[in-house]
Structure 1
Amino acid sequence: MNNSPIVFISHSSKDKDRFVKCLTEQLISRGIDAWYDDWELEFGDSLIDIFDKGISKCDVFLSIISKNSIGSNWVKEEFDAGFVKKIAGETKFIPIILAEDNIELPSAVHHIRQCIIDDISNYDIKFEELVKDILGISKKPPLGNPQYFNDEDMIVFKKLGDYCLDEGFDYIFDPYKVSEICEKSDDELAEYIKALEEEGYLKDERENVGGAFTSKSITSNGFYHYFTSYVDGYNEIYKNLINVIYGLNLFSFDEIIEEMNINKNIVLGLISYFKDEGYVNVYRYEITQITTKGKRYFKKFICD
């Protein structure tokens, strides 16, 4: 089923070859269902179909504002129809300003954030922003976790996380190993370990085997905090992994690790985090399903 938003492009016929046809083709190539009169209307169709079949059904209304459209009565009728739908909350209204025409903008768009294109022959960056806005993809990076700990807590936590970069984030630390890694006694470590456990970054793995605390491992939430706090380029890694899983439909852990070409334990840690957050289902070494919750979340980060 195609869930792409329907986009209506209001424009002057004089801007078709100059800009609009190319824009429409780009949107179509990105999976966006753009309603373009030259493609939708056949010989003999009524031009009123533009309103009945185009504007009335669109989810997003793009208004191309140029020196050609600003004086067009027909474009004004489309503009007004699209703006009424915006006011009714039935469509997203995006003015696209061809700035090189140096025109006075309609007063109705002064309060709306506009997509301003300075050069119609080179607008790749602005186009990517437009695609994200049409699809409702957030431009914000994933939110890191706030720190409620003191510096010594985080020194201990970072040392454990650094160790797991080599051993895997499912590694089980016994008290003696923690003491060795952190170069502290069990008694010195007890308070730090308790603080990290209470915040949900560490969890019990076995019954008490002696020492000041039981064996622990890093939780998926703890991994995510380590990842966003101490891994360089975490934002790009996060988005790239989502694109590999969602966009390329690679579900085998080995395939995903090969495609990512980074430390495999970071990839496996993120997959474990996605599983615990309910974004994917996992069996053995394969993602068996991206959940509905996962699809909705991942869509915020999908890009080509």
Structure 2
Amino acid sequence: MLKPLEKIKMSPKVFVSHASEDKERFVLNFAKQLRANGIDAWLDKWEMLPGDSLVTKIFEEGIKDAQAVIVVLSKNSVGKPWVQHELDAACVKRINTGSKLIPVVIDDCEVSEVLKATLWERIQDTSAYQPNLERIISSIFGVSDKPALGDPPKYVEHLGTSIAGHNKLDSLIYKMACEFALKAGSRHINASAFLKDGELLVPESKLRESIEILGEQKIFELQHFLGGEFPSISLTSYGFEIYARDYVENYSEIFRSVAFAITNKKLRSLSQIKNELKFNSFLIEHVLRMLASQNSISVSWVLGGDCLINRVSPSLERSLN
């Protein structure tokens, strides 16, 4: 029976460019730390033997095969011709292959112009740099400590198009209130209008904020109470009218039918019009309120919720003839 193949561990190869003067004080230990963390750090001390060609070993073997080049920048290295040549080769490689080029600054020194558009890792203390090392390792392996994306809030899936320039969250609250009014047959909105499966669809803080904003914009009339309770909410005629024009099917025909019942059929009460037209009672009441606000009719509201039409304007009569 064949044994399963042993998993091959792939370690990224990294070329460490530096000045020889920095080897003992920083580079050697730094490269050891990289190797201890699964990174195949290429260092001349370990890779080159007497008789080797500097050009072949460094440029054809070291830099050419590296997935990343770390350039250790110090007062010693910034003026070294070899370090500059290695940097030039690393820049070309980054352009051609997309390999990483990581500047590690260990002194207060002048940084080459070609690296000024690259994010550096500055090490203040060459004897204690664990956080710096961890960021460098993360960069080489291409990992991030960015938190994973969670599920979006439940209410997001219910966000639709905006209503009359309101943002999508305010529009959602606005729409839920109007739908509640149509179903309940009342302009007075209670907290159940904003429930979904028995729970508030929107976090309470956001719901309260949207209610207050819609109140400021005359979509809602609000009455506030002591003790932090939800305010009493009433949907204004203005607020429902904006919603109805875009979301109530055949609203213009309903509006005209109510007006026609008043002018041509001479119906003079809300109850009579409801019996005649069989439309949603809240819609009929809303149309009467809108006609009254336009001075097309004058009305009196009586106990029991009925509305008596006292006068019809000549302009409304003429508009429907």
TM-score between both structures, scaled by the size of structure 1: 0.48
Please tell me whether Structure 1 or Structure 2 has the larger radius of gyration of its CA atoms.
Answer: 2
TM-score between both structures, scaled by the size of structure 2: 0.46
